[in-house]
Amino acid sequence: MLHRRSRRRAFTLIELLVVIAIIAILISLLLPAVQQAREAARRTQCTNNLKQIGLGVHNYHDVFLTFPQSEAGGTGTLGRASAFASILPYLEATNIYNQYDFNRGNSETLNQVAVSQRITTYLCPTATFPRAVPIAGCDANNRAPGTYAFSTGTGDSWGLALGGTEKHNGVIVHPLQGVTRIRDVVDGTSLTLLAGESDWNLQDYLFTSGPCSGQVRGGFTYWSSPYPLATAFTTRAPFNPKSGGSAVLDRFRSDHPGMVNFCLCDGSVRAISENIDQATLNSLGTRAGGEIIGEF
C-alpha cells in the first residue's frame, strides 16, 4: 500500500506582504471615516453646549427682563464677573454661583474656589489647548478656561469700559451702556448673534511676564472673566483666525474644520462658514442695524 506524504501549504513571503499591504490600505481608508465620526460627535456636543448657554440666557431674561451684561455688577473696570457667571443658576451650576462673590473681582483669592471650576457646558470638546490651563502662578487666580464668548456687536469690543467711547451694538453690552432686552433686537432674534466659539489655538500668543514669560499662552478665555479679550467678542475681521496674537483675541474662532458654531438670539445654533462674507457677519452682529440678510 502506497503512502503519500502530505504537504502543508503555507503563505509565501510575497503573499504575506500583499496581505499586510491590503490591511494597511483598508486601515488608511477607515481612519478618516472614524475621525469624521468622532468630530461629528464632538460638534454635536459643542452645539448642545451653545443651546444650553442660549437657554440659560433666556431663563435669565425671563427672571430679570433683560439680557445679562458683559460684566456682571461692573463699573467699567472689567474686574468683576462675566455674563457666563451670571447665568450659572440656569445651567444647573447654582453651587458655583453661590460660591462667587460678585462684589469682588474674578482674580481675587476669595473667588478662587468658584473661578477655578471647569464647567463642561463652557468647554467645546473639539477645542485644543496648547498647554495646561490653568498653570499655577501664570493664570491669575488659577481661573478655569472656557471656549465660548458673547457677541457685543461689530465695533470695539471694549465698548465704554476703561474710558472707551464706542457703544456696543450687539445683544450683550457693558453695564455702563445700560441693559438690552429682547424687544431691542429689532433685526430679529433668528438673525442676531448671541454667543459663539473662542478657541485656544493661537500659537503666537505668548505669556509676556511672570514665570511663564515667552511660553505659548494660546488664548485668554476664562469663563469668569468679563474682559473683552476673554468673553465679550466682536465680529470684526479676521474671522476664525489661527494666528495674530493678542490682536485677535476678541475674534470668534474654533477648531472645527472650516466653521464656527454660534448661538443666535432665538436659541438656535448655526455653523457659520469661515468664508462668510464679512458684511454678512457684521449684519448678524448688530441687534438693530436694519440690514437685509440673505442665506448664511
Rounded Cα gap, residues 254 and 239, in angstroms: 10
In eight-state DSSP terms, residue 222 is B
CA-CA distance, 248 to 199, in Å (whole number)? 11
What cell was used for 170? 450687539
Pairing of strands 71-72, 81-82: antiparallel
Residue 250 pLDDT: 97
What's the pLDDT score for residue 6? 52
pLDDT, tens digit only, all 296 positions of the chain: 445 555 556 667 777 788 788 888 877 776 666 666 677 788 999 999 999 999 999 999 999 999 999 999 777 788 899 999 999 999 999 999 999 999 999 999 999 999 999 999 999 999 999 999 999 999 999 999 999 999 999 999 999 988 888 999 999 999 999 999 999 999 999 999 999 999 999 999 999 999 999 999 999 999 999 999 999 999 999 999 999 999 999 999 999 999 999 999 999 999 999 999 999 999 999 999 998 887 77
Give the CA angle between residues 180, 181, 187 to the nearest 5°.
95
Place of cell 438656535: 268
CA distance 70 to 158: 10
- Taking residue 47's Cβ as centre, other Cβ atoms within 10 Å add up to 17
Please name which of 118, 119, 101 lies closest in space to residue 110, comparing C-alpha atoms.
101
CA distance 246 to 202: 9
Strand partners, 151: 233
Handedness of CA 136, 139, 140, 143 (dihedral sign): negative
3-state class (DSSP) for residue 175: helix
All structural domains of the chain with their residue ranges: 17-285
Sign of CA dihedral 197, 201, 207, 211: positive
For residue 88, the model assigns a pLDDT of 98
Instruction: Determine the residue type at 127.
Output: A
CB 111 within 8 A of CB 100: yes
Q: What grid cell was written down for 77?
A: 473696570
**Whole-prediction pTM:** 0.88
CB 198 within 8 A of CB 219: yes
- pLDDT score at 11: 65
- Report helix, strand or coil for 148: strand
In terms of Cα–Cα distance, which of 229, 262, 216 is closest to 156?
229
